[in-house]
Amino acid sequence: MRTVDLLDTIGGLTSRLKTYAAKLPSVVHLTAVPTGVKPQLEVIEEYEDLVSRLRTQSAGTPYKTLNESLLESLEAFEVGRLLGAIQPLLALLDQLERMREDREIEVGRIDENRIQEYRAALRKIMPGNKPELEETGRNLK
Give the residue among 42, 50, 92 at the shortest CA–CA distance from 74. 50
Q: Which percentage of the chain shows pLDDT scores above 70?
A: 82
pLDDT at 134: 46
What is the pLDDT of the chain when averaged over all its residues?
85
Neighbours of 16 (CB within 10 A): 18
Please write the tens of the pLDDT for every residue from 3-46.
999 999 999 999 999 999 888 876 655 454 445 578 999 999 99
Neighbours of 100 (CB within 10 A): 17
pLDDT above 60: residue 130: no
Please write the tens of the pLDDT for every residue from 61-98.
999 999 999 999 999 999 988 899 999 999 999 999 99
pLDDT at 35: 54
User: Model pTM?
Assistant: 0.82
